[in-house]
Amino acid sequence: MKIGIACDHGGYNLKKKMTKFLNKKGYTVIDYGTDSLDSVDYPDFAFKLGEEVVNKNVDMGIAICKTGIGMSIACNKVKGARCAKLDTIKDAKYAKEHNNANIIAINNKKTLFKTKLIIKKFINTEFSNVNRHKNRIDIISGYENEH
């Protein structure tokens, strides 16, 4: 599995740790920046990550910033991206199982242990394929196509 990862300056240190963790687990990680603690505009990195996921250059994306909120909002501006801001393991399960999210946004405030658990749960959860969930995703996609 190829995982895209992107961050702003607030998520840089966690991105480095998560990249190392995911590589050790056997995943290929494609880094879309940023590459320092210097202040940057997070939308630039979120848009790039979203485009790479939607274009299927990577299988999923991880966006990291101080809160996870800004990166999530920006990723979701990319047509076809379904970015979920995750705070709990349960969020990770439902983001994939019910919403078939293809990008997750996380903040840099959690422990490294909890962050790893959230990411592992998301990766290891399958979309349910239940009709009501597929229907809701289709409604969202239809709205994107109309606007």
Could you list the active site residues?
Answer: 65, 98
The b/e string for 33-42 (b: 16+ C-beta within 10 A; e otherwise) is bbeeeeebeb
Can you state the angle between helices 12-24 and 112-124, rounded to 10 degrees? 50
Q: Is the dihedral of CA 127, 72, 75, 3 positive or negative?
A: negative
What's the start-to-end Cα distance of the chain, in Å?
Answer: 32
Rg (CA), the chain: 14
Q: Give CA–CA dist 132/9, Å, rounded.
A: 39
**Where do we find the tokens 């590589």?**
23
